[in-house]
Structure 1
Amino acid sequence: MNLQIVRRTRAKFRGFTLVELLVVIAIIGVLVGLLLPAVQAAREAARRMSCSNNFKQLGLALHNYHSAFKQLPQNGSGTARLISDANASSSFTLGWLVGVTPFVEQQAIWEQISAGVDSTGSVYNPMGPPPWQRIFDPWDTDIGTFRCPSDPGFGLPALGRTNYAACIGDNPWMSHSGGKNRAGFWDWTGTNATPGDNHTQNESGQTNPNKGSTVSAFARGTNRGVFWNRNTTKFRDILDGLSNTIAAGEIATSLGADELNANMVAQKGWRFLEDGLGPAWCDSYRDPERPSFRGSGVSYSGANGRGYRWADYRPAFSSFHTINPPNGISCAMNPADTSQAISTAGSRHQGGAHVLMADGAIKFITDSIDAGNRQAGFAQNGDRTAIQRAPGQASPYGLWGSLGTRASKEVIDEEI
């Protein structure tokens, strides 16, 4: 009797064998391996939804701004440059996001900007100093509504970052200046050209083919987006229809890794603009073994990284073209110049990027959208030898280019 009790007690407390334990661990490992991608996908889906919601808020802000001022916020606004102190005023370099700050619950920042006073007590002209001045608090502030949660970029050497950029059309010619004078300076591309200017050469001694009143006509023919830099636009100017025209798009901020969808690459010279080679010329910058990264050429670095200044209107920071498809390459003519460039939409989402249509709708555009003939030159006016298309023609960059023009009368015959 006592022996049976002992045997039953021993049987009752018998543990797992090593094989059983290993099987259980293996099963748990497989389940965790299956679960983690699902968790990561769910988190990215939540971030992507939040990103879309932020963009929706910006769309509402644009419409509220237009209701209040009967125009869209100007991209390339501010006060004139002071000859006595170039850093005391904004020099017409402020982007579209500055104007919408009061409409996205950032009234305190707007009051600092409009007064030109920051928390340190420094006093500048109204609308503050240029947007690269870190000492001015608003420029160095990250505003949550201007950031997409899917983008992990943060911190120095950037100032306040943004992931949302104004659409400035399908042509880089004069899209930086819009044909407007910035501060009395001048060059033959129209960067700072003034209608009526009688100069015949630029600072390098090159002949100016677009002097005088030709500058206005030239710029009018090349600035085809909802936003026309240093000029005002209204909803009435969007003849292609608000629902068929992109007002803004996502950009990925630079992580300092030479990724082509988040950095600009450059090589000194005007070739991609001047020789009529089209945007495909930028592809020479790709690493053939790692197509998503830079190969030859010079990558923008330091404070000129992609999306590094939410308040700066220039292509490297808060504007883009509908030329190369989303997550394509962005390239510029000069590593020392963040102005003359082809700027491209992009994101940290898989397979595409969000865009904001002029009617306030948010669309997700895939990388594979029809981008037409990337060998085609840009629509131009004037007497450049590289002219391939006259102004007013349909965009050669397919559906993507057509969505970026406000009044070129392209027919959008498919649901976006």
Structure 2
Amino acid sequence: MSFYTREEGIEKHEMESIQFARLKTTVANVYENVPFYKREFEKAGVKPEALHSLTDLKKLPFTKKTDLRDHYPFGLVAVPMDEVVRIHGSSGTSGKPTVVAYTKNDIEHWSDIVARSIYLAGGRKGDLLHNAYGYGLFTGGLGLHHGSEKLGCATVPVSGGNTERQITLIEDFKPRIICSTPSYLLNIGETMLAKGLDPKKTSLAFAILGAEPWTEEMRATIETMFDLKAMDIYGLSEVMGPGIAMECVDCQDGLHLADDHFICEIIDPDTLDPVPDGENGELVFTSLTKEALPIIRYRTGDIASITRERCACGRTSTRMSRVKGRIDDMFIIRGVNVFPSEVERILLQMDELVCHYNIHLKRAGSMDHAELHVEVCESFFNRLPNGDFSVGEGPDLIKKIKYSLKSQALISMDVCLKAPYSIPRSEGKAKRVIDLRGENALTVE
């Protein structure tokens, strides 16, 4: 069995020994060098010397995104600014990004983690990698770029957008690997088909897709469209960036965590108690090797589960499930919690529909309601008299969608069928929920 690093295949007790040693160093570092953490530790009544095993991690306080915003821009940095070599950030509702910093060692570690991820996905030295993640404050573009170079791939830094040019470079350069959001790769494929090109005939063999929740049904659509294998990559800037976890090309059965760099917990987002392995909860990460901005028990807002069973590929690393959705994206319809990814899973089981949809949250008088806008495929649309959804097979398809949503997910919402190519395509992260009510609460009675 070929691994990128030996740590991917070591026994659990050896990994736990590595994690505990690095955890103690990290906790001592933030206690001494980050005033915020020293205050929070003292509020919780813990000091670094109180850590006697990994189970003591639960004694430490959580870190939230609001903590990063409250200490904008550099209040959580643990090293002198002359040791910082890179600044990244993610945009927030306040208009200011949550800022993260990196030392030279941080960049080296991150590059190595991403190289490991690309290797997991089937990439090897000498491959040509087409990187369609956005470059800039967003960690996706530069994160994959440096990991690709670290592995020894020839890296094409295309960034996002300009789909026609993306297609030209794919055809001319003949990359073996492509990196992008799943919705944007779908956009590229549809654009190729509209130009009379067959996505199956490209040189692409592997796709590394992330930065937004996506489903097994979306994977099947993309893999069939391009005749490749599509793997999920996970990351977020507050913890490091892409590469925190990656699916292996051998099994595509959960994302392998870089256990030697991060500790992952799953908690109930309401009670903050741990949930058993295999059950969904909120992902919480503690960094173990970051210097500039170490983070303790960071609540990501992402919903997933973990397993500690050895993968059939031979790796012993903890695996996390595909992210089901974000707490921020969840809305409530008549008491039922709804994630867009659950709606997507149901829609993509129907041959009449394609992978493009929005959920509109609207207000009618004093009541709120949800309305699903979803595109039909061209063959279905062409069967409708004059493209009229109110006649022919249109009403039956609406009934079928409503029944499937209700029977499979207990969701009731209005359905609006849309003509092919009428929903705007994504050149980055897809926006699935559109709140038209002029307020923030994603609650629909």
Bin of the TM-score, shorter chain as denominator length: under 0.3
Larger Rg: 1
Higher RCO, 1 vs 2 (CA within 8 Å, ≥6 residues apart): 1
Q: TM-score, normalised by structure 2?
A: 0.25
Structure that is richer in helix per residue: 2
Q: TM-score, normalised by structure 1?
A: 0.26
Structure that is richer in strand per residue: 2
